[in-house]
């Protein structure tokens, strides 16, 4: 349920309500506005009468949240969530672009690509170091060595780094290196991993599962939010359908639907959703026109010889052209690329 405090309610009244929420075996998630506080009471609250909280001094109103996903819903948080990363913000008017290779292959490779995407206008650098591959015999990533190369790239470009985490056991080590955890499609319903990432305060890029509905995605994101980690970006990356002309089917519908249902920023991955570099820019443009808050794009300086996902990777030149096209589309829908204030070495 959602406990709406009166404007200007003092701290002691807010604390008393939070204490009562916890005594009723619910988890309190307060949101503090400039003039008013809202306290989300999350858990199995069907047995708790809302009249218990309505009687407290300072409480204006208590509402049941009708959606099964509570903290992700617009009913709980009406305004778009906007949160800072190093050098820029995600959500709001600005559009963020995350770019880099599918896999970190070597020091020279990631440094070259990082510099290229930074010059083209990227806000953050992506790169895989633990790769969830279909075949156990395919390249599995460089692990911690790859993270060290990404950190060097961050130092040289100022861009925060986005890296996929695949297991609870990797979190403690990766927290020392990464700025944003990526949770891939195959782990969308890995609830132990979601809970563990929710207990961190590292921002999360959360990808939709291969065959997941939008509601299933939002319910899964609730595991992260309920742990106290509020900086979650939802990522549409294409879903599996009967169509085989592309790697996946891009659900453009998901962007406006998610923007209506949730306050969380919505990112689109045109690389995985198409699987073909020839279509990436088109779908990126469509995403921004549909209301996406950002893009995550695979870029490689030599796609033909990439260890993984070369077919869907843009060259740096093609990526730079795509960014300029996206900028024009953003302006056409009264938005703009997020301003960058990276400090480079």
pLDDT in tens, 252-284: 999 999 999 999 999 999 999 999 999 999 999
Range of the domain at 255: 83-337
Strand partners, 4: 38, 61
In a domain? residue 69? no
In a domain? residue 147? yes
In 3-state terms, what secondary structure has residue 46?
coil
Number of domains the chain is built from: 2
| pLDDT reported for residue 340 | 83
In a domain? residue 244? yes
Residue 45 has pLDDT above 60, yes or no: no
Same-domain pairing of 252 and 333? yes
In a domain? residue 72? no
Percentage above 70 pLDDT, the chain: 97
Same-domain pairing of 23 and 135? no
Helix residue ranges, H only, the chain: 11-23, 51-54, 107-120, 144-157, 171-175, 191-198, 214-226, 254-261, 270-274, 277-290, 316-332
Average model confidence (pLDDT) across the chain: 93
In a domain? residue 167? yes
In a domain? residue 134? yes
Same-domain pairing of 42 and 126? no
**How far is Cα 162 from Cα 126, in angstroms, rounded to an integer?**
5
Q: Work out the pLDDT band at 68, boundaries 50, 70, 90.
A: confident
More confident residue, 44 or 164: 164
Same-domain pairing of 166 and 264? yes
The model carries a pTM of 0.90
Query: The dihedral of CA 136, 139, 145, 147: what is its sign?
Result: negative
């Amino acid at each position: 349920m959602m406990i709406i405090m009166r404007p200007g309610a003092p701290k002691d009244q807010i604390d008393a309500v939070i204490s009562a929420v916890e005594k009723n075996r619910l988890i309190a998630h307060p949101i503090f506005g400039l003039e008013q506080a809202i306290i989300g009471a999350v858990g199995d609250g069907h047995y708790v009468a809302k009249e218990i909280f309505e009687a407290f001094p300072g409480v204006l109103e208590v509402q049941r949240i009708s959606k099964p996903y509570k903290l992700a819903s617009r009913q709980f948080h009406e305004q778009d969530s906007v949160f800072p990363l190093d050098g820029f913000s995600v959500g709001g008017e600005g559009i963020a672009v995350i770019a880099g290779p599918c896999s970190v292959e070597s020091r020279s490779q990631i440094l070259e690509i990082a510099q290229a995407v930074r010059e083209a206008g990227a806000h953050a650098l992506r790169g895989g170091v633990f790769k969830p591959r279909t075949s156990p015999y395919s390249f599995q990533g460089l692990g911690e060595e790859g993270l060290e190369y990404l950190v060097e790239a961050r130092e040289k470009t100022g861009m925060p780094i986005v890296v996929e985490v695949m297991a609870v056991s990797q979190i403690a080590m990766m927290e020392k290196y990464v700025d944003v955890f990526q949770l891939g499609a195959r782990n969308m319903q890995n609830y132990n991993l979601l809970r563990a990432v929710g207990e961190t305060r590292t921002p999360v890029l959360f990808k939709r599962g291969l065959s997941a509905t939008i509601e299933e995605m939002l319910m899964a994101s609730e595991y992260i939010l309920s742990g106290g980690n509020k900086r979650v970006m939802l990522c549409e990356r294409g879903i599996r359908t009967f169509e085989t002309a592309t790697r996946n089917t891009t659900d453009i519908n998901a962007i406006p639907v998610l923007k209506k249902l949730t306050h969380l920023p919505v990112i689109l991955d045109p690389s995985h959703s198409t699987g073909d570099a020839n279509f990436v820019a088109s779908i990126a443009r469509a995403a921004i026109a549909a209301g996406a808050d950002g893009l995550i794009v695979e870029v490689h300086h030599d796609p033909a010889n990439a260890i993984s996902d070369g077919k869907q990777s843009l060259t740096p030149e093609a990526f730079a052209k795509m960014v300029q096209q996206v900028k024009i589309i953003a302006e056409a829908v009264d938005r703009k690329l997020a301003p960058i204030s990276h400090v480079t070495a």
